[in-house]
Amino acid sequence: MDLILFGAPGAGKGTQGALLAARYGLQRLSTGDLLRDALGRGTPLGFEAKKFMDAGELVPDDVILGLVREVMESSDAAGFIFDGFPRTVAQADGLAALMERLGRSLDAVVVLDVDDETLVQRLAGRLSCPSCQAVYSQFAEPPQVPGKCDACGASLVQREDDRPDTVRRRLAVYREQTAPLIRHYRALPAPVHVIDGARPVDAVQMELRTLLEQ
């Protein structure tokens, strides 16, 4: 199964994608995580990407497509959950060409629909692990020990790009450059499902599972 999880910053793509990946034995491919990992390892690509990420802008398509190609070509996963990718028509076209070459096809596109006020609140309360990339919420999903990652014990941080002015820019970029892709996918064979992502994590996850098991 190959699935695109689509949605604005804070819509819950990472949260839901991780749960689906664990449930169905799929590989979650988050371009945001790949970029943060490159930055954490101090690679030139990571430093280059940081300029765009801190400004809330998209990292250039060729960089993103190169990262995705590397992961997909070296993986033996039964399926991928694409999280935060593609974000432009060029990326969607690049993914289609790559999938064709690898003999894969897209099964579904799921859009997590969440209002802006909820998105801003969620991002203000998000805590991230800089070491293993686990995600928590000060409100909805707090860590067991305040400020510490349940999975690896590292100190949790607020992401640089979760500051209010950067969040506003990320939301605008999503509306301008990424949301139009929903129409692009509606013209293609894989079904596009829009679900209400503003409900509690478990309710959203149950609907996703029901959809995917149909």
Catalytic residue check, 170:
yes
Reference 84, options 6, 191, 194; nearest CA is 6
Catalytic residue check, 87:
yes
The Cα diameter of the chain in Å comes to: 47
Based on the shown chain and the rule CB under 6 A, indicate whether residue 84 belongs to the binding site for ligand AP5: yes
Give me the catalytic one of 36, 87, 122, 175: 87
Give me the catalytic one of 13, 28, 36, 122: 13
Catalytic residue check, 148:
no
Select 108 or 161, whichever has its Cβ closest to ligand AP5.
Answer: 161
Reference 10, options 32, 29, 28, 26; nearest CA is 32
Q: Is 112 within 8 Å of 195 (Cβ atoms)?
A: yes
Catalytic residue check, 169:
no
- Show contacts with ligand AP5 in window 122-161 (CB under 6 A): 122, 125-126, 135-137, 140-141, 161
CB 159, min distance to ligand AP5, A = 7
Residues that bind ligand AP5 (rule: CB under 6 A) add up to a total of 36
3-state helix, strand, coil in the chain (%, to 5): 50, 15, 35
State how far the Cα of 180 lies from the Cα of 175, in Å rounded to an integer: 7
Select 58 or 106, whichever has its Cβ closest to ligand AP5.
Answer: 58
State how far the Cα of 139 lies from the Cα of 147, in Å rounded to an integer: 13
Q: What's at 128, amino acid-wise? A: S
Tell me which residues touch ligand AP5 (CB under 6 A). Answer: 7, 9-15, 30-32, 35, 52-53, 56-59, 64, 84-85, 87, 91, 122, 125-126, 135-137, 140-141, 161, 170, 200-201, 204
